[in-house]
């Protein structure tokens, strides 16, 4: 069966692991570790309250005796009969690793996790599994030195919005990888470790000051840039890992492919209404960057089309300034036209997708102000 023909019920995980909102964080971590999951459904008085993950726990930075309700994240839900490509789009935009799946009776029947989608791609034929990693990998890669502290590593992950960091030695060679799971299981005290509050605080501070090389996974699975997405998906499923470093022909770290990247690729199978869009100035960019920019612009324009009647055209013009070496700075101008208004917004910066997103967000705010005047 084609990916585009699948529904959520065909691939979702049944019998999701749950935790009560009145449980403590240490207990939730114990459940995650025992059951081998990174996300729990949070139940409050018999009702779904949201989810909690390793990232949520690390992000909050609360004591392990705190209640789960303090770190719970409200999440969108999907339905059992929803098309997979539609559900994948919700999963991708949520930034979460798993979403609750509801039936028509509003009861929870399972979860759709990124790994479920990756497993499906691993056994599929054609797009997106046949793409080369060089076209879809995330890059540049945020890394950490093996002598860096766990505390600083945690901060780097939160600052850059990543769930894992490749670890490099003094020769800048890949020697390991560290994840939110590693950090959470290391610095937070489980309910089995009986300590006073003062003892817990002191122990956490001590653990945060330890070098990351003592916590990282040393046996690192990696792939080459000409390997396929399907090969990466199979590796993630077989090893139960959320991302794989990508090396070039010289053995240098040049990118990473993650479960989130694979989910985003599946969303490209979604048939969407075409909007009047013109993007200029992407000729010198790599396929992955062009694809990302196109997705951002399409999503933003789709949103604008819901509030702007008779939207005729949105033009995004990208200018690139070469600053020596591989350094580039971008200036983006966006124009929106309809019979009544013609609005322009601008933004500049070093990361093209972020600059485009910022420029279109400014345009969206201008549209809102214009509509309030009418």
For tokens 């019998």, the residue is 15
Q: Using one digit for the tens of pLDDT, what is the confidence trace for 39-63?
A: 999 999 889 999 999 988 888 877 7
Residue 361 DSSP SS3: helix
The values of phi and psi at residue 315, to 5°, are: -110, 130
Distance CA 315, CA 279 (A): 6
- Common-topology check for domains 133-264 and 277-373: no
Question: What one-character-per-residue DSSP string does 287-356 give?
Answer: HHHHHHHHHHHHHHHHHHHHHSTT--EEEEEEEEEE-STT-EEEEEEEEEE-SS-EEEEEEEES-HHHHH
Residue 243 DSSP SS3: strand
In this structure, the dihedral spanned by the alpha carbons of residues 41, 37, 166 and 349, taken in order and rounded to 10 degrees, is: -20
Q: What is the pTM for the complete model shown?
A: 0.67
Closest residue by Cα to residue 346 from 372, 316, 368? 316
Distance CA 327, CA 280 (A): 20
Closest residue by Cα to residue 192 from 5, 299, 34, 59? 34
For tokens 């995650």, the residue is 32
Distance CA 199, CA 65 (A): 12
Output the tens digit of pLDDT for each of the chain's 374 residues. 688 889 999 999 998 999 999 999 989 999 998 998 999 999 998 899 999 999 888 888 777 889 999 999 888 899 999 999 989 988 988 889 999 999 988 899 999 999 999 999 999 888 888 899 988 898 888 999 999 999 999 999 888 888 899 999 999 999 999 998 888 888 764 434 444 444 444 455 567 888 999 989 886 789 999 999 999 999 999 998 999 999 998 889 999 999 999 999 998 887 545 567 888 888 777 777 888 888 888 888 888 887 777 777 788 999 988 777 667 899 999 988 877 778 899 999 999 999 999 999 999 888 888 877 76
| Cα–Cα distance list, 275 to 12, 278, 306, 309 (Å) | 32, 10, 11, 12
∠ CA 56-62-65, nearest 5°, is 110
Question: What one-character-per-residue DSSP string does 5-68 give?
Answer: G-BHHHHPEES--EEETTSBHHHHHHHHHHHT-SEEEEEETTEEEEEEEHHHHHHHT--TTSBG
- The DSSP H or E segment spanning 152 is helix 150-160
Distance CA 278, CA 53 (A): 39
Q: Using one digit for the tens of pLDDT, what is the confidence trace for 317-327?
A: 999 887 776 67
* CATH class, 3-113 region: alpha beta
The arrangement of secondary structure in 277-373, i.e. its CATH architecture, is 2-Layer Sandwich (3.30)
For tokens 């793409």, the residue is 131
To the question of domain 133-264 being in CATH 3.10.580.10, the answer is yes
Domain parsing of the chain, residue ranges: 3-113, 133-264, 277-373
The sheet with strand 164-168 has its strands ordered as: 144-145, 164-168, 174-179
């Amino acid at each position: 069966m084609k990916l585009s023909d699948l529904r959520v019920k065909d691939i979702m995980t049944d019998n999701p692991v749950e935790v009560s909102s009145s449980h403590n964080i240490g207990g939730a971590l114990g459940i995650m570790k025992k059951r081998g999951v990174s996300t729990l459904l949070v139940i409050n008085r018999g009702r779904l309250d949201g989810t909690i993950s390793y990232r949520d726990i690390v992000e909050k930075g609360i004591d392990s005796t705190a209640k789960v309700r303090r770190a719970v994240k409200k999440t969108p839900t999907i339905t059992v009969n929803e098309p997979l490509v539609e559900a994948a789009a919700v999963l991708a935009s949520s930034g979460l690793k798993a979403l609750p799946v509801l039936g028509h009776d509003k009861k929870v029947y399972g979860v759709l996790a990124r790994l479920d989608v990756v497993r499906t791609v691993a056994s599929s034929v054609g797009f997106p599994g046949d793409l080369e990693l060089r076209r879809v990998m995330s890059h540049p890669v945020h890394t950490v030195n093996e002598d860096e502290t766990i505390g600083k590593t945690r901060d780097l992950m939160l600052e850059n919005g990543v769930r894992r960091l490749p670890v490099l030695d003094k020769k800048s060679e890949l020697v390991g990888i560290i994840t939110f799971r590693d950090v959470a299981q290391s610095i937070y005290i489980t309910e089995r470790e009986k300590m006073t509050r003062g003892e817990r605080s002191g122990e956490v501070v001590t653990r945060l000051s330890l070098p990351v090389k003592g916590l990282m996974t040393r046996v690192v699975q990696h792939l080459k840039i000409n390997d396929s997405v399907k090969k990466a998906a199979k590796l993630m499923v077989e090893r139960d890992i959320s991302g794989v470093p990508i090396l070039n022909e010289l053995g240098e770290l040049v990118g990473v492919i993650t479960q989130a990247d694979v989910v985003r690729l599946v969303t490209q199978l979604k048939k969407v209404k075409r909007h009047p869009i013109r993007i200029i100035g992407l000729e010198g960019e790599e396929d992955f960057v062009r694809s990302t920019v196109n997705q951002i612009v399409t999503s933003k324009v789709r949103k604008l089309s819901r509030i702007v009647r008779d939207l005729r055209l949105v033009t995004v013009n990208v200018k690139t300034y070469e600053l020596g070496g591989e350094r580039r700075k971008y200036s983006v101008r966006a124009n929106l036209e309809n019979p009544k208004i013609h609005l322009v917004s601008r933004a500049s910066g070093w990361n093209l997708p972020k600059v485009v997103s910022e420029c279109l967000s400014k345009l969206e705010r201008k549209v809102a102000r214009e509509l309030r005047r009418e």
